[in-house]
A and B are shown apart, each in its own frame.
Chain A
Amino acid sequence: MEILMSLLIGFLFAAAVYLMLSKSLIRVVLGTAVLSHAAHLLLLTMGGLGGTKPPVVADGVTVYDYADPLPQALILTAIVIAFAVTAFLLVVSYRAYQELGTDDMSLMKGNEDE
């Protein structure tokens, strides 16, 4: 299963990078969203996909049956942070549209004399 997941993660990363290399700002933001999904899945996969029970204490379950809780905690933190960043990015792009009137990244260049 981990090998299959690794291939999926590789595919998601490739798609995310391809999106981030395009000219349109929305595709770049979409790319970052896909990238964060890939990173979360990578975290989960690397923790190991074994374990038959969710990491919630229950009667009659030995500690070896639980799924690894630590990657889950890390991912939970990462999801929230990624959401915060994505939300901010979206508003920045929204404002960029308003002020610049374009979403073409190749037109958004700094000052000539910068």
Chain B
Amino acid sequence: MYLVLLIFLPLLAAVFIPFLFKRVGKIHTGWFVFAVPAALFIYYLTLISDVMNGGTFIEEFAWIPSLDIAISSYIDGLSLLFSLLITGIGSLVVLYSVFYLDKNREQLHNFYIYLLMFMTAMLGVVQSDHMISLYLFWELTSISSFLLIGYWYTRDRSRFGALKSMMITVFGGLMMLGGFILLYIMGGTYSIRELIPQAAELVNHDFFIWALVLILLGAFTKSAQFPFYIWLPDAMEAPTPVSAYLHSATMVKAGLYLVARFTPIFALDGTWVWLVAGIGLLTLFWGSFFAVKQTDLKGILAFSTVSQLGLIMSLLGVAAAAYHVEDAASTVFKYAAFAAIFHLINHATFKGSLFMIAGIVDHETGTRDIRKLGGLMSLMPISFTIAMIGAFSMAGLPLLNGFLSKEMFLTAMLSIAQFELFSMDVWGFLFPVLAWIASVFTFIYSFYFVFHTFAGKHKPELLPKKAHEAPIGMLISPAVLAVLVIVIFFIPNLVADWLIKPAVVAIQPFLYNSPAEVDVHVSAWHGFQPELFMTIGIFAVGGLLFWKLRKWQKAYKIFPEAFTLNRLYDGMMFLGDTGANRFSRMYMDGIMRNGFVYMFSAMSVLVIATVFLNDAFLVDFSQSAPIGFYEVTIILAMIIGTIVILVTSSRLTAIIALGAVGYSVAILFVMFRAPDLALTQLVIETVSVALFLLAFFHLPKVAKKMERPSFKLGNAIIAIAVGAMMTIVALSAHSQKIIPSISEYYKETVYTLGGGGNIVNVILVDYRGFDTLFEITVLGIAAIGIITMIKLRLKKKEAPHENK
């Protein structure tokens, strides 16, 4: 139970934040917040020893037992790794934010509540074994991310970025929910652990491919893969601690987590391998290519995050290919999963530190525009050192952890190209080629980031503030991460044993029984392998291109703005908003006649079509009453009266004709042996005609003539359709009576039970007296309504044109 509670610990702590902020104003609220992730981090560290020996923890809290919905905490290698990242980097980010955000000027309580909310959400995502609660936490990350991006809500760009990320990630989240529900329909359980053993049967199910695509949509939108990456650069309007935490180290990796988590289920289908590896590689290339174009420090980092996420995604795709080869344990595919997790950790360390450095530069110089920056090396030596370590690791330089994972990445890409699987022999060569080009660009933007900020000429006249080194507290967090970057290079196998191998077991469970069986050994020196030459090539070409960067960077301007994905998104939003508005205005024009037209045409088409499609049309004369001469005469009179109403242009004539029709109805009632009806009809018709005359004839302001009713063909067609519909329904209904009438009962018992002779009246007041009660009520309400309409005159405040 307490593992589930730990997920909610940050959210519980958030309850106290406003009090701490308002009452304890002297101390920066961040210090109190810091204790939460730090304590969780230490706790999760204690689980490592169990998990690295293959142990798992599972605890469930039954939330809605009748619907089989539970909040679960399942800790295996993969979720423990993510939990450590979330709490570890979370602590560092909180520490950094203490110095980054001013306690007097900022709304700190909002910030930390959102941040703690996000922490709970993220822990829930990675520890949920139950798909519905996974979805719940997934959406909570979207919402808290939305709130954090829009933290400075008075800025337009913040609100725009927040909305954009919300739209895209929530779209993906909903798709993912669909995938989850399909999985539940197929497998009969919400538990991911219980679904994995069923994978071999699920793969043949019709819904399988749908579930696969929908869940991938969720993962791709969250992890900013092509073409959904567009929200990430706009999310850079968030405060820098948020960018460092959510948009580089944790939230954007939720999609990677999802892919890794579902690999044992979906990897059995080749589509998964192709989609994950292909989209990942495309994203890698695209992100690295456009990172060089950026002029904003955080923009560079955003695109670089997109690109690195693509790298990890493609590695996960290659890892899934292991499911399709015989004797996978002896192939290189098992390295791919290892490399993916390894790079995931490495990326979290170096990208976190780089974001914090970007924040420091912004904080101390007042700008993030790389064109205004330069020559900060001597002014900010510590920041420069940290930035250099992070960027060199990102570029894949030796002696840093990025080098190791990039080598493994190149190994995986080279080996998949040689593999004859899913027509890899045709397209496989693209993998190493694209990977190599993307690595060159990665090298360029890494150097671009560091050297165009810290080297070159200092331009103090362009900077809003006088540049100087950041306070030491702000440097602690990036320094810790930078130290990790170096340390991991020297002890990669220790990290592997503790963290990576248990996670790999979760991705490729069919290969291993326990983490100890993962026989991958990281070494900094492979000997003279092809990947070494590729790396040398990357350094050489990347170095050369970086040296001439100023010459060719302008070439990016050739790409037309009109064809970018952002334009597509803006266009879709415009269409959704203005387009839908226009569409509504098109048919909801406020004219009642058009409403009638839609209603009547839909009704008549539906009814007539239903009658004929079901073969229900039938005319049967056998049960009919005989046709009488007087009845026919009255019917003719009614038809004439109605035609007069239709064609006359005089109000008076129309009203008199209506009266004639009403009296004819009364006479028909007489002929059809309904004396009470005839009586009522006569009286009511008289009163109605009087009322009509009162309302429309004696009204002084309105002319006694109506406008000449011109014949309208469209109206006539609709009217005839409705008339035909009623005739068809009436004929068919009368010709096919199935059940005898209940009236025999009334006729037989009217005197014995009802004590009356007039059957209609006894029905009205005795058998079905409730109808009458409420009919009286209707009449009463109408009377009150009429009196109110006439008597009540609420004064209009401004109505000089009122015609009284």
Which residues of A are in contact with B by a Cβ distance under 8 Å? Answer: 1-15, 17-24, 26-30, 33-34, 37-38, 40-42, 44-58, 63, 66-70, 72-73, 75-77, 79-81, 83-88, 90-95, 97-99, 101, 103, 105-106, 108-110, 114
A66 to B745, CA, bound (A): 12
Between A and B, 18 residue pairs with Cβ closer than 8 Å are: A7-B727, A12-B638, A18-B716, A24-B706, A41-B665, A49-B624, A54-B673, A63-B747, A67-B674, A73-B760, A79-B677, A79-B680, A80-B680, A84-B781, A84-B783, A86-B688, A88-B782, A110-B590
- Do A77 and B691 have beta carbons less than 8 Å apart? no
The answer, among A18, A68, A110, for a CB contact under 8 Å with B741, is: A68
A-B contact number at CB 8 A:
276
Interface pair A10/B723, CB less than 8 Å apart: yes
B631 within 8 A of A: yes
B676 at the interface (CB under 8 A from A): yes
Kindly identify, within residues 90 to 145 of chain B, every residue whose CB is under 8 Å from any CB belonging to chain A: none
Query: CA of A105 to CA of B802 in the docked complex: distance in angstroms?
Result: 19
In the complex the two chains form, what is the Cα distance from A87 to B627 in whole Å?
35
Chain B residues, Cβ within 8 Å of A40: 665
Query: How far apart are the CA atoms of A70 and B715 in the complex, in Å?
Result: 36
User: Most chain-A CB neighbours within 10 Å: which of B626, B694, B743, B763?
Assistant: B743
Compute how far the CA of A83 lies from the CA of B635 in the bound complex, rounded to whole angstroms.
Answer: 22
**Which residue of B645, B687, B702, B743 is within 8 Å of A68 (Cβ)?**
B743
A55-B760, A91-B695 known; A15 vs B673 contact (CB < 8 Å): no
Partner of A21, one of B597, B628, B726: B597
Neighbouring A residues of B759 by C-beta, 8 Å: 55-57, 66, 69
- Of B645, B654, B724, the most chain A CB neighbours within 10 A belong to B645
Which residue of A1, A49, A69, A101 is within 8 Å of B763 (Cβ)? Answer: A69
List, in ascending order, chain A residues with CB within 8 A of B201's CB: none
In the complex, what residues of A have CB within 8 A of residue B699's CB? 94, 97
Question: Which residues 688-705 of B have a CB within 8 angstroms of A?
Answer: 688, 691-692, 694-696, 699, 701-702
- Given A7-B727, A88-B782, A106-B591, the answer on whether A46 and B734 have CB atoms closer than 8 Å is yes
9 nearest A-B pairs in the assembled complex, by CB-CB distance: A14-B723, A10-B727, A84-B782, A109-B590, A18-B719, A69-B759, A57-B757, A55-B759, A6-B730
A22 to chain B: closest CB distance in Å? 6
Of the 9-residue stretches B48-56, B388-396, B785-793, which lies at the interface with chain A?
B785-793
Contacts of B621 in A (CB 8 A): 3
Contact between B712 and A21, CB atoms less than 8 A apart: yes
CB distance from B623 to the nearest CB of A (A): 7
For residue B720, which residues in chain A have a CB less than 8 angstroms away from its CB? 14
What is the distance, in angstroms, from B641's C-beta to the closest C-beta of chain A?
A: 10
Which residue of B623, B691, B743 is within 8 Å of A69 (Cβ)?
Answer: B743
* A residues in contact with B743, CB < 8 Å: 68-70
A23: chain B residues at CB < 8 Å are: 593, 707
Beyond the given pairs A11-B723, A27-B706, A48-B625, 12 more chain A to chain B contacts, judged by CB atoms under 8 angstroms and listed by A's residue number, are A4-B632, A8-B638, A12-B642, A21-B718, A44-B672, A48-B741, A55-B759, A57-B757, A73-B771, A76-B680, A80-B779, A91-B785
What are the residues of chain B within 8 A of A17 when measuring CB–CB? 596, 600, 715, 718-719, 722-723
Residue numbers in A under 8 Å from B802 (CB-CB)? 99
**Docked complex Cα distance between A85 and B51 (Å):** 76
Check A80–B675 contact: CB distance below 8 A: no
Residues of B within 8 A of A34 (CB): 642, 645, 658, 661
Residues of A within 8 A of B760 (CB): 55, 69, 72-73, 76
Find the A residue at minimum CB distance from B646.
A15
Nearest CB in chain A: distance from B709 CB, A: 6
B668 at the interface (CB under 8 A from A): yes
Give Cα A29 to B734, complex, Å: 30
Cβ of B778 under 8 Å from chain A: yes
Q: Give A99 to B803 CA distance when docked, in angstroms.
A: 7
Question: Known contacts being A63-B747, A97-B701, is A22 close to B782, with CB within 8 Å?
Answer: no
**Least distance between B109 CB and chain A CB atoms (Å):** 37
Contacting residue for B731 out of A6, A37, A103, A109, CB 8 A? A6
In the assembled complex, the Cα of A34 lies from the Cα of B781 at a distance in Å of 23
Minimum distance in angstroms from A98 CB to a CB of chain B: 7
Give the docked Cα–Cα distance between A1 and B680 (Å): 24
Residues of chain A within 8 A (CB-CB) of B726 are 6, 9-10, 13, 38, 42
Do B727 and A50 touch across chains, with their CB atoms under 8 A apart? no
Q: Which residues of A have CB within 8 Å of B750?
A: 57
Chain B min CB distance to A76 (Å) = 6
Q: Are B785 and A88 in contact (CB under 8 A)?
A: yes
Bound-state CA distance A70–B747 (Å) is: 10
Residues of chain B lying within 8 A (CB to CB) of residue A44? 668-669, 672, 674, 677
B746 to chain A: closest residue by CB: A69
Q: How far is the CB of A28 from chain B (nearest CB, A)?
A: 8
Residue of A nearest to B764 (CB): A73
Question: Which residues of chain B are near A49, meaning CB under 8 Å?
Answer: 624-625, 672
Q: Give B735-762 as 1s and 0s: 1 = Cβ < 8 Å from A's Cβ atoms.
A: 0000001111011101100001111100
How many Å lie between the Cα of A33 and that of B790 in the bound state? 22
- Residues on B with beta carbons closer than 8 Å to the beta carbon of A4: 627, 631-632, 635
Contact B764 A77 (CB under 8 A): yes
Give chain B nearest CB distance to A99 CB in angstroms.
Answer: 8
Q: Which residue of B lies closest to A107 (CB)?
A: B591
Q: Name the contact of A95 in the complex, choosing from B590, B674, B789 (C-beta under 8 A).
A: B789
B639 on interface, CB distance cutoff 8 Å: yes
Say yes or no: B747 contacts A55, CB within 8 Å. Answer: yes
A80 with B672: CB separation less than 8 A: no
Q: Is the CB of B730 within 8 A of A76?
A: no
B625 to chain A: which residues have CB within 8 Å?
1-2, 48-50
* Contact assessment for B709 and A27 in the assembled complex, using a CB-CB cutoff below 8 Å: yes
Measured between alpha carbons, how far is A50 from B722 in the docked complex, in Å?
27
Contact B730 A46 (CB under 8 A): yes
For the complex, is B68 an interface residue (Cβ under 8 Å from A)?
no
